[in-house]
Chain A
Amino acid sequence: MSKLVNVKINGILVQVPEGTTILEAAKKLNIVIPTLCYHSDLSIAGNCRVCVVEVKNSKTLQPACAYPVAEGMEIYTNSQTVRQARKHIIELLLSEHDADCTRCYRNGRCELQNLAYEYAATENGNGFIKLINFKNYKKDFSSPSIVKDDTRCVKCQRCVRTCEELQGVSALTVAFKGEHLKISTFFDHPLLNVVCTNCGQCVSHCPTGALIEKTNIDEVLAAIDDPTKFVVVQTAPSTRVALGEWLGLEPGAIVVGKMVKALRLLGFDSVLDTDFSADLTIIEEGHELLNRLKKAILLKEKVALPMFTSCSPGWIKFIEHMYPDMLENLSTCKSPQQMFGAVAKTYYAQKIGVDPKNMVVVSIMPCTAKKFEANRPEMNSSGYQDVDYVLTTRELAKMIKQAGIDFTRLEESEYDSILGKSTGAGVIFGATGGVMEAALRTAYEVVTGKSVPFTNLNIQPVRGLDGIKEATIKIDGTKDEWKFLEGVELKVAIAHGLANAKKLIEAIRAGKVNYHFVEIMACPGGCLAGGGQPIPVDNEIRRKRMTSIYKIDENMPLRKSHENPEIIQLYQEFLKEPNGHLSHELLHTHYTPRKRY
């Protein structure tokens, strides 16, 4: 523990460890210092200067986010000088910003707008001249996931730091200097053509509307209004612990029943669950893993190990760009979203007697990369595009608000059947480590006939927010057909956030570590903090959503994918067997090697 120092903030004494920033010290006194370029997930930039404060005996103001306190320091966070400087800074930002807020996706949820409100700063305050030259700014609509609008950019570089520090991708960089500075891509190429993984973490970390998802609300509403269309909606696991945040509820509020009800009120013909297809993924992926192990250990065939999970489309695009020589290691399983689409437009359409050409599958996803995934040319195994439209959790929140649904007072409703029932294993897909835990619950039982050897089925070593997690499970008491696995120590690892994924893969490639099975989620925390989830997000919010995910799991009557009665029914009536012929046609996919530039 470092030395404690005494500092005074606005005349109030506070004791904090030496080196604490002024921002953190002020927080201890419940003094809020406004920030813009600061984000607790990221390194300190200190470039927006909104958080400047007065430090006694310092000739200049100091940025509270970057300035460390020292013994005896006296700080003023709200003096006339500070207020004037902040107001100037906010007005300067507004002068180079397209402040036509009513046209902006983030209207009402914009950090710059909030600051302008707090400081009564106006677009041409002090008579500042509007600097924005619309001719020179581009709006990049090339990506199916993300829209980049430079006219809304405040150059805080949060997106650049996110892309580099959290994701290790650096698709977004700073280009040019001075008045020409802008956030750009490699050679200013459109987002679609660069290494961007579509993860949307830049969107989650953007304080304004400069980076947003490409919205599909209008298309979905049109489909709902079209009487010839049967519109099916699926909801991803993590949406049910985050949606409420943009509808007046606390972070992590569990809103599964309200969400289902709201979707019905919005007019969807059938409200189904991606948790169901998460269970389906586990059956397919679990058997794929066991088959690979069988080939490697029993048949001594050459087979790519470790096997990587394939649920996270940001991760898929990442590995296609960065490690195209490792695509063999990816599970061939489609993600739960895509499995759902393929099953919906075949089995489900048949069952309910709807012509799949008139079926529209919409997904509610915590993710922007899912939009790209749904549009991949290979995702049409039903004969149609398997998933037609992807909405982020945020887009759904907007639709619910617009529809005049009082979400906080909404009664609860249940998913339709079939394709609506799920287990606790499905819902934990929403948290980092969840796919691993769900897969182990099933695979272990397939092999041994017994439950995983963890109290209450909770595989604690794979849970939590550590960037890279590892676990070893000894397989004990195998059934006859799996005898070759007797005594094998199954080694698994989990990474979330692509920067962590990169670290893990580099270690695997260097031969420093060895695993059988590796789960990777593109976004830090997993889907619960995906690029399509309500903003803001930080570790405190991640933890709350995560707690809720595991709470839902604990309270489910069934917690293993293979016990899901609808899954059993699906195999009996349609798919016949895991990794069988029909499964391969509908539920598995292939990948595309891509270049880095």
Chain B
Amino acid sequence: MEIKKLTKVNLIFGYTDVDYFKVLEDVIKKDPNSIINEIIDSGLKGRGGAGFPTGLKWKFAKEQVSDKKYVVCNADEGEPGTFKDREIIEKVPEKILVGMAICAYCIGADEGYIYLRGEYEYLAPQFEKKIEEFVNKLKTINFNFKITLYIGCGAYVCGEETALFESIEGRRGEARNKPPFPTVAGLFNKPTVINNVETFVYTTMICKLGVNEFKKYGTQDSRGSKVFSVSGDTLKPGIYELELGMKVKDFVEEFGDGDTKAVQIGGASGICIPRKDFDNVIIGFEGVPTGGSIMLFNSKRSMFNVLHNFLEFFCEESCGQCTPCRVGYQQLLKGIEAVKKGEKPASYLNELKKLALTMKIASKCGLGQSAANPFLSIVDNFIEEFIY
């Protein structure tokens, strides 16, 4: 397997002296199909966590025949432990907007939405100004693309793409049944491309620097670099853009405090890697994918408390519509409490693991489907912390 060393990259926040509007002007001289093919060729996968190939998504949306299409930027950064989109919005908003405009040009959309996390409302005035400037500039080159900034109300589930659409449309943020997928019937039931903030910036950078420059980074399955939000027991918490395909071990050597016992990759819905596996696991789509959140825990931390905290979060943040997620998380939470208190035998954890697997395959959206990630990886690796 292809493995990369830990390498810092500066695509997202770098190249600040470039006129990105000019980049857009150059790009839209090209045929939309050729741009989409470049994005496909780049191997870029969605940076929100699920990792769907970006170019393919755009291609599907372009192929749809519709009087109206939408481009939506998912800035509902709600995964516990991730805070990189906030920084991107503050530092390089124009790159996001250019990425959205390129997408709109490629798929034939004339309207875009940016769904901003409720807690980031304070970013809105500045961001809105940027958007207005950008849209006015678009008018000068006769590029018809309207962008609306929509501020969420604080529900984690609204980061799920179809729940996000429901929220923009004025309903409860609840995931829809799929299919149809957003590229066929998304926002207001029209073909829609929805990408994460960071993904749009990478598409801008691919157009600016060329596919080959982007492909220099990463591995076959995980092209390019990624912005990581590093937190927990580390001496240098913060935001780092790193090449994909590194071992957890290298990551821990760089960011750990020398006593790291576990790394939670992908936030509360992600997977916990214990020390014994640091050398065997790669951070990337071939190993453990992540929307950017990486939390380090040292030996002073109780992994029971960590999981307990995650489960409390999910009990609260499940939208509540589907049974496995709404009730399942409550059972997992109450279940580990009961085992810890000795009210249930240790073997009850096996029942809960089976339940987590049911939640993984039977829940309606990613929120419930990811239950098994933290649950199995933490319970399996730190069972002693649950039964004693």
Q: In the complex, are the beta carbons of A92 and B324 less than 8 A apart?
A: yes
Judged by a CB distance under 8 angstroms, whether A61 is at the interface is yes
In the complex, chain B residues 49-86 whose Cβ is within 8 Å of any chain A Cβ: none
With both chains docked as a complex, state the minimum distance between the C-beta of A69 and any C-beta of chain B, in angstroms.
11
Once bound together, how far apart are the Cα atoms of A333 and B66, in whole Å? 52
Judged by a CB distance under 8 angstroms, whether A75 is at the interface is no
In the complex, chain B residues 289-330 whose Cβ is within 8 Å of any chain A Cβ: 314-324, 326-330
Judged by a CB distance under 8 angstroms, whether A280 is at the interface is no
With both chains docked as a complex, state the minimum distance between the C-beta of B335 and any C-beta of chain A, in angstroms.
7
In the complex, chain B residues 330-385 whose Cβ is within 8 Å of any chain A Cβ: 330-331, 334-335, 338, 344, 348, 351, 354-355, 358, 360-364, 369
In the complex, chain B residues 93-134 whose Cβ is within 8 Å of any chain A Cβ: none
Judged by a CB distance under 8 angstroms, whether B142 is at the interface is no
Contact pick for B338, options A129, A154, A179, A180, CB 8 Å? A129
Judged by a CB distance under 8 angstroms, whether B179 is at the interface is yes
Once bound together, how far apart are the Cα atoms of A177 and B326, in whole Å? 9
Q: In the complex, are the beta carbons of B363 and A177 less than 8 A apart?
A: no
Q: In the complex, are the beta carbons of A178 and B316 less than 8 A apart?
A: yes
Known: A129-B338, A131-B327. A177 touches B155 (CB 8 A): yes
Judged by a CB distance under 8 angstroms, whether A45 is at the interface is yes
Once bound together, how far apart are the Cα atoms of A271 and B360, in whole Å? 59
Task: Give the chain B neighbours of A96 by CB distance below 8 A.
Answer: 327, 330
With both chains docked as a complex, state the minimum distance between the C-beta of B343 and any C-beta of chain A, in angstroms.
9
Q: In the complex, are the beta carbons of B318 and A95 less than 8 A apart?
A: no
With both chains docked as a complex, state the minimum distance between the C-beta of A81 and any C-beta of chain B, in angstroms.
7
Judged by a CB distance under 8 angstroms, whether B177 is at the interface is yes
Known: A61-B361, A126-B351. A47 touches B157 (CB 8 A): no
Q: Name the residue of chain B whose CB is nearest to the CB of A125.
A: B351
Judged by a CB distance under 8 angstroms, whether B139 is at the interface is no
Known: A45-B321, A127-B348, A129-B335. A95 touches B177 (CB 8 A): no
Q: In the complex, are the beta carbons of A178 and B319 less than 8 A apart?
A: yes
Once bound together, how far apart are the Cα atoms of A178 and B362, in whole Å? 17
Task: Give the chain B neighbours of A252 by CB distance below 8 A.
Answer: none
Judged by a CB distance under 8 angstroms, whether B236 is at the interface is no
Once bound together, how far apart are the Cα atoms of A181 and B173, in whole Å? 13
With both chains docked as a complex, state the minimum distance between the C-beta of A311 and any C-beta of chain B, in angstroms.
35
The secondary-structure label for the interface of chain A is loop
Task: Give the chain B neighbours of A472 by CB distance below 8 A.
Answer: none
- Chain B count of residues within 8 A CB distance of the other chain: 37
With both chains docked as a complex, state the minimum distance between the C-beta of A341 and any C-beta of chain B, in angstroms.
43
Once bound together, how far apart are the Cα atoms of A89 and B331, in whole Å? 12
Judged by a CB distance under 8 angstroms, whether B137 is at the interface is no
Judged by a CB distance under 8 angstroms, whether B172 is at the interface is yes
Judged by a CB distance under 8 angstroms, whether A117 is at the interface is no
Q: Name the residue of chain B whose CB is nearest to the CB of A88.
A: B358
Q: In the complex, are the beta carbons of B338 and A47 less than 8 A apart?
A: no
Q: In the complex, are the beta carbons of A93 and B316 less than 8 A apart?
A: no
Q: In the complex, are the beta carbons of A49 and B338 less than 8 A apart?
A: no
Q: How many interface residues does chain A have, given as a range?
A: 35 or more
Q: Name the residue of chain A whose CB is nearest to the CB of B343.
A: A129
Known: A85-B362, A95-B327, A96-B327. A127 touches B355 (CB 8 A): no
Q: In the complex, are the beta carbons of A60 and B361 less than 8 A apart?
A: yes
Q: Name the residue of chain B whose CB is nearest to the CB of A68.
A: B179
Judged by a CB distance under 8 angstroms, whether A508 is at the interface is no
Task: Give the chain B neighbours of A128 by CB distance below 8 A.
Answer: 331, 335
Q: In the complex, are the beta carbons of B323 and A126 less than 8 A apart?
A: no
Task: Give the chain B neighbours of A88 by CB distance below 8 A.
Answer: 324, 328, 354-355, 358, 362
Once bound together, how far apart are the Cα atoms of A272 and B42, in whole Å? 81
With both chains docked as a complex, state the minimum distance between the C-beta of B267 and any C-beta of chain A, in angstroms.
17
Max chain A Cβ within 10 angstroms of own Cβ: one of B317, B319, B324, B335: B324
Q: Name the residue of chain A whose CB is nearest to the CB of B316.
A: A178
Known: A127-B351, A155-B320. A179 touches B179 (CB 8 A): no
Task: Give the chain A neighbours of B335 by CB distance below 8 A.
Answer: 128-129
Known: A126-B355, A129-B334, A131-B334. A89 touches B324 (CB 8 A): yes
Contact pick for A49, options B172, B317, B322, B355, CB 8 Å? B322
Known: A177-B155, A177-B157. A89 touches B323 (CB 8 A): yes
Max chain A Cβ within 10 angstroms of own Cβ: one of B318, B320, B323, B331: B323
Task: Give the chain A neighbours of B330 by CB distance below 8 A.
Answer: 96, 131, 179
Once bound together, how far apart are the Cα atoms of A245 and B21, in whole Å? 71
Task: Give the chain A neighbours of B172 by CB distance below 8 A.
Answer: 174, 177
Judged by a CB distance under 8 angstroms, whether A438 is at the interface is no
Once bound together, how far apart are the Cα atoms of A179 and B316, in whole Å? 6
Q: In the complex, are the beta carbons of A181 and B358 less than 8 A apart?
A: no
Once bound together, how far apart are the Cα atoms of A81 and B351, in whole Å? 15
Contact pick for B319, options A93, A154, A177, CB 8 Å? A177
With both chains docked as a complex, state the minimum distance between the C-beta of B199 and any C-beta of chain A, in angstroms.
22
Once bound together, how far apart are the Cα atoms of A61 and B358, in whole Å? 9
With both chains docked as a complex, state the minimum distance between the C-beta of B347 and any C-beta of chain A, in angstroms.
9
Once bound together, how far apart are the Cα atoms of A260 and B383, in whole Å? 68
Q: In the complex, are the beta carbons of B328 and A92 less than 8 A apart?
A: yes
Q: In the complex, are the beta carbons of A178 and B358 less than 8 A apart?
A: no
Judged by a CB distance under 8 angstroms, whether A46 is at the interface is yes
Contact pick for A181, options B320, B328, B338, CB 8 Å? B320
In the complex, chain A residues 106-128 whose Cβ is within 8 Å of any chain B Cβ: 126-128
Task: Give the chain A neighbours of B324 by CB distance below 8 A.
Answer: 49, 85, 88-89, 92
Once bound together, how far apart are the Cα atoms of A217 and B320, in whole Å? 36
Once bound together, how far apart are the Cα atoms of A431 and B274, in whole Å? 68
Once bound together, how far apart are the Cα atoms of A67 and B176, in whole Å? 12
With both chains docked as a complex, state the minimum distance between the C-beta of B28 and any C-beta of chain A, in angstroms.
36
- Per-position binary interface string of chain A over residues 60-86, scored 1 when its CB falls under 8 Å from any chain B CB and 0 otherwise: 110100111000000000000100110
Once bound together, how far apart are the Cα atoms of A552 and B344, in whole Å? 63
Q: In the complex, are the beta carbons of B323 and A92 less than 8 A apart?
A: yes
Judged by a CB distance under 8 angstroms, whether A48 is at the interface is yes
Q: Name the residue of chain B whose CB is nearest to the CB of A87.
A: B358
Task: Give the chain B neighbours of A93 by CB distance below 8 A.
Answer: 323, 327
Contact pick for B364, options A49, A50, A129, A176, CB 8 Å? A49
- Per-position binary interface string of chain A over residues 169-195, scored 1 when its CB falls under 8 Å from any chain B CB and 0 otherwise: 000001011111100000000000000
Q: In the complex, are the beta carbons of A131 and B331 less than 8 A apart?
A: yes
With both chains docked as a complex, state the minimum distance between the C-beta of B291 and any C-beta of chain A, in angstroms.
19
Q: In the complex, are the beta carbons of A47 and B321 less than 8 A apart?
A: yes
Judged by a CB distance under 8 angstroms, whether A221 is at the interface is no
Task: Give the chain A neighbours of B361 by CB distance below 8 A.
Answer: 52, 59-61, 81, 85
Once bound together, how far apart are the Cα atoms of A426 and B27, in whole Å? 74
With both chains docked as a complex, state the minimum distance between the C-beta of B318 and any C-beta of chain A, in angstroms.
4
Once bound together, how far apart are the Cα atoms of A176 and B355, in whole Å? 24
Known: A95-B327, A129-B335. A179 touches B320 (CB 8 A): yes
Max chain A Cβ within 10 angstroms of own Cβ: one of B179, B327, B328: B327
Q: In the complex, are the beta carbons of A177 and B355 less than 8 A apart?
A: no
Contact pick for A155, options B157, B326, B348, B364, CB 8 Å? B326
Once bound together, how far apart are the Cα atoms of A127 and B179, in whole Å? 35
Task: Give the chain B neighbours of A89 by CB distance below 8 A.
Answer: 323-324, 358, 362
Interface residues of A (CB under 8 A from B): 44-50, 52, 59-61, 63, 66-68, 81, 84-85, 88-89, 92-93, 95-96, 126-129, 131, 154-155, 157, 174, 176-181
Can you list 20 A-B contacts (CB < 8 A)?
A45-B321, A49-B323, A52-B362, A60-B362, A84-B358, A89-B362, A96-B327, A126-B351, A131-B327, A131-B334, A155-B323, A174-B321, A177-B155, A178-B317, A178-B326, A179-B315, A179-B326, A180-B320, A181-B319, A181-B326
Taking A49-B362, A50-B323, A60-B360 as given, write out 17 further A-B residue pairs in contact, using a Cβ cutoff of 8 Å, ordered by the A residue number: A48-B323, A61-B361, A63-B364, A88-B362, A95-B327, A95-B331, A96-B330, A126-B355, A129-B334, A155-B320, A155-B321, A155-B326, A174-B320, A176-B320, A177-B155, A179-B316, A181-B320
